[in-house]
């Protein structure tokens, strides 16, 4: 019996259109090139320039450079912007490894260094109390944890993709993951939020560059007081440093108790990690970078200076440098209240170096007194 599903029943010939394929390929290539050039021109006209994206891959690459005796910078975007690597290298004879992360809590990175049995170098830790004490599951903690996961799970395909990305990002302006991807651009559509929806505030626009050593520099335009970019960045910080309302499904008293317990645990864990590092011969210095304007009050409302910075200094017994205690460190203008301009960051680092040298080489390396006197309202 003849099978109704024999192979011969499905034999067919695909008809290939009789078109000039070389011309089609050339036309597609030209259209792609023209569209790419137009998008690149539009990005540059809007003020973008070729620069690296500060990705977890770039961070993981720097983390891999940490040696047992390295000088390591840990902290938030203030350390990323304000610490000039060339000045520090000249002062200490070795190039620092920049592990600070914008929008992060540096606590997971500190814990990671403490868990590295071979590390006995120097840690300069930038502390913004509201960021450092951020609870587990919060966005600042997620930033650091994402970078650490990439270090631990970094495969060969991701490494090669990162290396290719570096070559392109150094030459092409529109490769800006924080601003010009489709997902980021869709977020800027004027769609109203749903009633009673708790939507997080928008992040400030892209306003800095990083190099392969992760040295961050503010755009010159962002440092011009009154410029549109400076205004957007400055006004972007205020909602980010405003506490959201507590969740409606947890009683307020219970939520406050949970937060209090989490903060207490963070103090204990910090003391344990610092003690572990110092027991191996590592040196740790706390630094409080400049902050100005309304951000001073915003940060104080989240974590009072005496409770956050003051307690961390007292309980860890390490040298501490608070910018507000030193006129030469507190006399800078912060264009958007949170970071120094590129030229000022170099001068600030030069002025910070003597304080770091005394902290690292002083007798007994005892902690400085944590003062809580009012800070200047402007840089």
Q: What is the dihedral of CA 17, 23, 26, 30, to 10 degrees?
A: -100
> Are 345 and 217 in contact, with CB atoms under 8 Å apart?
yes
**Whole-angstrom Cα distance, residue 235 to residue 203?**
10
Q: What is the pLDDT of residue 305?
A: 92
Question: Which of 184-198, 220-234, 269-283 ranks highest by mean pLDDT?
Answer: 269-283
Any idea where the domains of the chain sit in the sequence? 49-185+204-365
Average pLDDT over residues 213-222: 91
CB half-sphere exposure, 283, CA atoms < 13 A: 20
Q: What is the pLDDT of residue 314?
A: 95
Q: How far apart are the first and last CA of the chain?
A: 94
> Are 319 and 282 in contact, with CB atoms under 8 Å apart?
no
Q: What is the pLDDT of residue 76?
A: 96
- Residue the block writes with tokens 């010009």: 180
**Whole-angstrom Cα distance, residue 129 to residue 126?**
10
Pick the CATH number of 49-185+204-365 from 1.10.600.10, 3.40.50.1110, 3.40.50.12280, 3.20.20.140: 3.40.50.1110
**Whole-angstrom Cα distance, residue 233 to residue 272?**
36
Q: Is 280 left (phi over 0), alpha (psi -120 to 50) or beta?
A: alpha
Give residue 108's pLDDT band: very low, low, confident or very high (50, 70, 90). very high
Give residue 48's pLDDT band: very low, low, confident or very high (50, 70, 90). confident
Cα Rg of the chain (Å, integer): 25
Q: DSSP secondary structure string, 286-343?
A: EEE----THHHHHHHHHS-TIIIIIHHHHHH---EEEGGG-HHHH----TTSS---HH
Q: What is the pLDDT of residue 39?
A: 80
Query: CA of 78: how far to CAs of 70, 185, 187, in Å?
Result: 20, 26, 26
**Whole-angstrom Cα distance, residue 40 to residue 175?**
9
Q: Say whether pLDDT at 378 is over 50.
A: no
**Whole-angstrom Cα distance, residue 281 to residue 120?**
5
Burial (Cβ within 10 Å: 0-12, 13-18, ≥19) of residue 19: exposed
Count CB atoms within 10 A of the CB of residue 196.
6
Average pLDDT over residues 203-211: 78
**Whole-angstrom Cα distance, residue 191 to residue 276?**
50
pLDDT, mean over the chain: 85
% pLDDT > 90, the chain = 53
> Are 282 and 70 in contact, with CB atoms under 8 Å apart?
no
């Amino acid at each position: 019996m003849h099978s109704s599903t024999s192979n011969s029943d499905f034999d067919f010939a695909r008809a290939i259109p009789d078109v000039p394929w070389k011309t089609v390929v050339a036309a597609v290539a030209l259209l792609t090139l023209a569209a790419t050039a137009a998008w690149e021109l539009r990005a540059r006209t809007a003020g973008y320039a070729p620069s690296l994206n500060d990705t977890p891959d770039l961070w993981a690459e720097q983390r891999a450079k940490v040696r047992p005796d390295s000088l390591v910078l840990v902290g938030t975007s203030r350390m990323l912007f304000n610490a000039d690597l060339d000045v520090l290298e000249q002062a200490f004879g070795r190039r620092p490894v920049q592990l600070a992360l914008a929008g992060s809590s540096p606590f997971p990175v500190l814990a990671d260094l403490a868990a590295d049995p071979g590390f006995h170098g120097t840690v300069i830790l930038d502390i913004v109390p509201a960021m450092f004490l951020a609870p587990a599951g919060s966005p600042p903690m997620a930033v650091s944890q994402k970078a650490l996961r990439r270090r631990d799970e970094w495969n060969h395909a991701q490494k090669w993709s990162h290396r290719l990305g570096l070559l392109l990002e150094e030459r092409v302006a529109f490769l800006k993951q924080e601003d010009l991807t489709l997902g980021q651009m869709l977020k800027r559509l004027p769609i109203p939020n749903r009633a009673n929806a708790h939507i997080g505030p928008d992040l400030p626009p892209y306003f800095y560059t990083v190099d392969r050593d992760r040295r961050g520099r503010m755009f010159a335009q962002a440092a011009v007081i009154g410029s549109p970019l400076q205004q957007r960045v400055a006004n972007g910080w205020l909602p980010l440093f405003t506490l959201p309302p507590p969740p409606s499904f947890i009683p307020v008293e219970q939520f406050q108790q949970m937060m209090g317990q989490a903060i207490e645990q963070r103090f204990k864990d910090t003391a344990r990690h610092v003690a572990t590092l110092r027991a191996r011969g590592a040196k740790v210095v706390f630094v409080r970078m400049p902050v100005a304007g309304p951000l001073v009050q915003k940060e104080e409302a989240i974590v009072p200076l005496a409770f956050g910075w003051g307690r961390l200094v007292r309980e860890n017994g390490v040298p501490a440098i608070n910018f507000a205690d030193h006129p030469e460190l507190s006399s800078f203008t912060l264009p958007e209240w949170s970071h120094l301009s590129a030229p000022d960051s170099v001068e600030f680092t030069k002025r910070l170096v003597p304080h770091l040298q005394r902290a690292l080489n002083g007798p007994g390396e005892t902690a400085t007194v944590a003062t809580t006197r009012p800070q200047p309202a402007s840089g």
